[in-house]
Every structure is written in C-alpha cells, then in structure tokens.
Chains A and B, each alone.
Chain A
Amino acid sequence: QKEVEQNSGPLSVPEGAIASLNCTYSDRGSQSFFWYRQYSGKSPELIMSIYSNGDKEDGRFTAQLNKASQYVSLLIRDSQPSDSATYLCAVNLFSGGYNKLIFGAGTRLAVHP
C-alpha cells in the first residue's frame, strides 16, 4: 500500500464550479497534512496546511481532514482556469526523531471556460 494515495485524474471541471480533490494516507500517527500546487514545469508551492480534524478555509480553498478515516481533501470553490495544475497531497511522517514529508503522485486538475 502506498503511503499517500491520490487519483491521478485528470479532474475536469467547468469554470465557476467546485473542484474536489481527495487523498488517503496509511500512517495513523501522521499529524500534519499539506496541499501543494504544481504548475507544469514549475516547483510545488504550498497552498494549505491542516493539523486538526474538520475544515480549514483560506479564500477559495478549504482543506478537510478526517484522521479516523485517514482522509484529507481539498475543495476549490469558484474554480478558475488559472487553477489548472497538479495538486499534491503531502503527509508528515515522524521517524527517527525527525519529520519528513511524503507526497502523493498528485491529481491533475483542468478547469475549462
């Protein structure tokens, strides 16, 4: 079982719709979760972090965490063509006294006008 799993997509949504991106993880001890956006040919950039069960909102983005189900999601409201990118879910693993981020393979989002 992969440590962090995401659907590769592409997820295609019309402009103005809500895009829903999902991620599951295997390590029950994980406490920190991140969503990164990666445009083609660019490096990942952090857009959201979440540490507690429930929802966290930042502008058009909402991260949702359910530790019991080992599930993290990202909602993008009022999707814009500029949101078209690959979204990477990252989960912290604490091992050997140090933190490290493990990434999923990413979900490609395409927002069409």
Chain B
Amino acid sequence: NAGVTQTPKFRILKIGQSMTLQCTQDMNHNYMYWYRQDPGMGLKLIYYSVGAGITDKGEVPNGYNVSRSTTEDFPLRLELAAPSQTSVYFCASGRGDGGYTFGSGTRLTVV
C-alpha cells in the first residue's frame, strides 16, 4: 500500500518555466488537497477536490491550476513560475472524516 505518492521530490525551475507536480493515491479516497509550505511557516491550501471532475480553490490558488480526471490522480500545474512559488508542496487525500494522508512533498525552487 503506497498511500500518497508525489513526484518529483525535488525540482529547480527557471522563472517563467512551467511544470506539473504529480500526486497519486491508491486508497480510493474521494477527497484530495494541495498545500504549500514556505520555510518556517504553516501549510496553506492551494486547491482541493471532493471527487473526480470536481475541484475548487483554496486560500492561495493564484498561479496554479489543477484537474481531477480520475479518483487516483490530482496533478498541480504551475504556469509561468515565479520566485514566490519557491516552497514545499504537499498533496493529501482523505475519505471524508478529516483524517488526511499526506505525501512526502515536492521541494521546488524557482530561480
């Protein structure tokens, strides 16, 4: 049972480049979330999904896009990367009781 798998683990992007952060879960959870965590700070919700085909914005959605075509996958797209998007990105999934399972994170640096 792999849980929540995030790829890549590390990435360096140049300003203006784009990339997709992958997130896959094998627990058949309907609920999935993307958070970012800046150094020394708490987690902020970027986007979330309550099921395939349904997504909604969190606290800090600007500069990001998501899609949810399957229950398992919830990719996060960064368009036109900016230094302010340097952060650690965590994906999480849950079955609806508030008990999330988090992935190990993607550490992104934009230079």
A-B interaction: no
Residues of A at the B interface (CB closer than 8 Å) are none
